Amino acid sequence: MGTDLDGVCWAVAECFGTGESFDIKNCSPLTLAYIGDAIFELIVRTYLVTDKERPVQRYHNKCSSIVNAVAQKNFYAKIEPMLTEEEKSVYRRGRNAKAYTVPRHTSPHDYRIATGFEAVCGYLYLTGQMTRLLEIVRHIKEE
């Protein structure tokens, strides 16, 4: 079950003439987390902007309270039971990846879990599974 959203990654790649040699299997877990962080933040920002009108600073503050390592660690605990074995494998790769820096106000433990969560988001986006990613985010919101 897919929608036009599922092909958004490849539409971007096609627009710029990239992606023909791209292979998700060769993607490092930190690369998955890098794009996953961006796509998760875009989903959160889109939700906030379409929810109700607010001053931009309030959008930023609310988004920052959702898109951070501690919140993402808690999100992972909520979604873990609904993940497929493949998604759990991507999570473990992201969690176990060697990050060379950890933000000041975050524990290494929380940061590793958040990196795994972001890797799952990136994996789903890059494999054209936006519908599945939105299903997971919707589950987080409902909890």
Q: List, by residue number, the catalytic residues.
A: 37
Question: Is the separation of the CB atoms in 89 and 123 below 8 Å?
Answer: no
- Cα gap 125→133, rounded to integer Å: 7
